[in-house]
Structure formats: structure tokens, C-alpha cells
């Protein structure tokens, strides 16, 4: 007997993935007390789900809120919200192909946001970074910036989405990065491997000149779909 998947089931699955994503990214050090991950609502693609303002390691399904296309809450009920939620709303608005976004302050990635050292694909698991340097968003020159170095309104979020363009990762000067992908599971994978690529690249730069992946190698790489089950099992163990 086949059971038809109902919209409510699909939504519950996305929310469950989002909760697990928060836990995994906290465990991997991509998110610490700050940073966040969002998912486009499967039943209302202009809206997105994201936790209330809370450390990612502590997020449960009850903490997930729904936001509209302007990053405003559908039903706030007095809950505090992440000030930088416009990052998610504006990337999701600009990129219909994107279903999930991570915003991180990873210290492994930060050096590449404040120097001219390019963040490019060096290891095959991070082929999605491509052979062009990751773009760097600078609030000093972008519209909507207010010298807080944060993305606190739709205008600033839209400028960030523009800098991201059709790439997967945009660095944010002296602040962190945002990662965009076609699913929650994929954005978790990409955020983790962007951090690992940055870490390996930083070590490589100490030893000599990095031998980056070339465009032919990048074109032949697939995005591995493994990792999630093992990472999810690790964070579910303690529940």
C-alpha cells in the first residue's frame, strides 16, 4: 500500500530538518550562540521558517516561527526574533531556486572576508565554492548599511542577495558568511564544508601556494548527499 504524502507531513519534515540543522551546525561550530538557519515554507513559498531568537543548540520544533516575504512574523506571540532575519528573507526572495539559508560567524571563514586571500574550492567536498573567489559583501559600501556591520533591514538584505548573485556562498566583511542551497540538508553540508575548505586553505597558505581545484574538476564533482544521517544521529542521541 502506498501512502500519499500530505502537505502537513512535508511541512513537518522541513521543520524537523530545520531543528536538526540547528543542532548539527552548533555541534560543528558553524553556528555558536549566534547565527541562524532558515527554510522556505513548502506550502507557501513566499514565507520561511526560522527559530525565534535563541542559541541554535537549544532550538526545538516549538521554537520555529513563520515569517512573510518581508521577513516579518506571521504570528509573533511576543517572541523575540533574530535581528538579521532579512538575510534570509531577501536571499529567498531573490533566488527562487534556494530553499534554505545559513548565516554564520565562523572564525575559520572570517580571515577570507577581511583580506585579499580568495576563498575558492580547494578540496573536492567543497567544489560548490567554484573557481572564482567567493564574493565579499561590505556594509560600508552597500545600500541599507548603517555601520553596525550587520544586515538589519530589507534594503541591506537585498544588497547582500545581490552580492551573492547565483553563487552558493557570500562572505560578509568582518562578520561571517551566508550560504544558500536547494534544501536544508544541502545547506548544512555546504556550510560545514565551506568552513572545512577555509580551514584547510588557511593551513595550506602557511606552507606554500595552494593548488586550487580547476574548472574541469569542479564541473565533474557532484554534491555528496551523505553526511546528514550520521550528523543527525549524533545530535538526536542526546534528546
**DSSP collapsed to 3 states, 116-132:** CCCCCCCCHHHHHHCCC
In the complex, the smallest distance separating the C-beta of residue 139 from Zn ion, rounded to whole angstroms, is 11
Which of 19, 160 has the CB closer to Zn ion?
A: 160
Q: How far is the CB of 96 from Zn ion (least distance, A)?
A: 24
Closer to Zn ion by Cβ: residue 17 or 84 = 84
Q: State which residue, 84 or 163, has the beta carbon closest to Zn ion.
A: 84
What minimum distance in Å lies between the beta carbon of 215 and Zn ion?
A: 31
Q: What's the CA gap between 139 and 17, in Å, rounded?
A: 31
- Site map for Zn ion, 63-102, x if CB under 5 A? ---------------------x------------------
74 and 60 Cβ atoms separated by less than 8 Å = no
44: its cell numbers: 507557501
Kindly state the number of chain residues that form the binding site for Zn ion, as judged by CB under 5 A: 1
C-beta of 89: minimal distance to Zn ion in Å? 14
Cα distance between residue 114 and residue 105, in whole Å: 13
SS3 158: helix
Closest CA to 164 of 178, 181, 182: 178
Shortest distance (Å) from residue 175 CB to Zn ion = 6
Per residue, what are the HEC states of 72-131?
A: CECCCCCCCCCCCCHHHHHHHHHCCCCCEEEEECCCCCHHHHCCCCCCCCCCHHHHHHCC
Residue 84 annotated among the catalytic residues of the structure = yes
Q: Output b/e per residue, 13-25; b: 16+ Cβ within 10 A.
A: ebbebbbbbbbbb
Closer CB to Zn ion, 84 or 90, in the complex: 84
Which one is catalytic: 69, 72, 84, 132? 84
Nearest residue (CB) to Zn ion, 82 versus 231 = 82
Q: Which of residues 18-47 bind Zn ion (CB under 5 A)?
A: none
Read off the C-alpha cell for 209. 601556494
- Which residue sits closest to Zn ion, CB atoms considered? 84
Q: Which residues bind Zn ion (CB under 5 A)?
A: 84
Active site amino acids: 84
Amino acid at each position: 500500500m502506498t501512502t500519499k504524502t500530505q502537505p502537513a507531513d512535508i511541512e513537518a519534515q522541513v521543520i524537523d530538518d530545520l531543528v536538526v540543522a540547528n543542532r548539527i551546525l552548533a555541534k560543528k561550530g558553524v553556528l555558536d550562540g549566534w547565527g541562524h538557519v532558515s527554510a522556505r515554507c513548502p506550502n507557501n513559498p513566499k514565507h520561511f521558517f526560522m527559530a525565534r531568537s535563541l542559541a541554535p543548540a537549544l532550538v526545538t520544533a516549538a521554537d520555529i516561527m513563520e515569517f512573510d516575504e518581508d521577513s516579518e512574523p506571521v504570528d509573533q506571540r511576543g517572541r523575540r526574533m533574530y535581528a538579521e532575519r532579512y538575510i534570509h528573507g531577501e536571499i529567498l526572495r531573490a533566488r527562487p531556486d534556494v530553499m534554505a539559508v545559513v548565516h554564520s560567524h565562523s572564525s575559520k571563514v572570517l580571515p577570507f572576508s577581511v583580506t585579499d586571500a580568495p576563498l575558492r574550492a580547494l578540496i573536492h567536498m567543497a567544489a560548490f565554492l567554484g573557481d572564482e573567489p567567493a564574493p565579499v559583501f561590505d556594509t560600508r559600501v552597500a545600500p541599507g548599511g548603517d555601520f553596525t556591520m550587520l544586515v538589519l533591514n530589507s534594503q541591506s538584505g537585498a544588497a547582500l542577495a545581490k552580492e551573492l548573485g547565483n553563487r552558493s556562498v557570500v562572505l560578509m566583511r568582518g562578520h561571517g558568511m551566508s550560504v544558500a542551497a536547494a534544501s536544508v540538508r544541502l545547506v548544512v553540508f555546504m556550510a560545514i564544508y565551506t568552513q572545512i575548505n577555509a580551514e584547510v586553505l588557511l593551513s595550506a597558505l602557511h606552507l606554500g601556494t595552494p593548488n586550487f581545484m580547476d574548472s574541469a574538476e569542479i564541473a565533474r564533482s557532484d554534491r555528496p548527499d551523505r553526511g546528514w544521517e550520521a550528523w543527525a544521529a549524533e545530535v538526536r542521541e542526546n534528546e
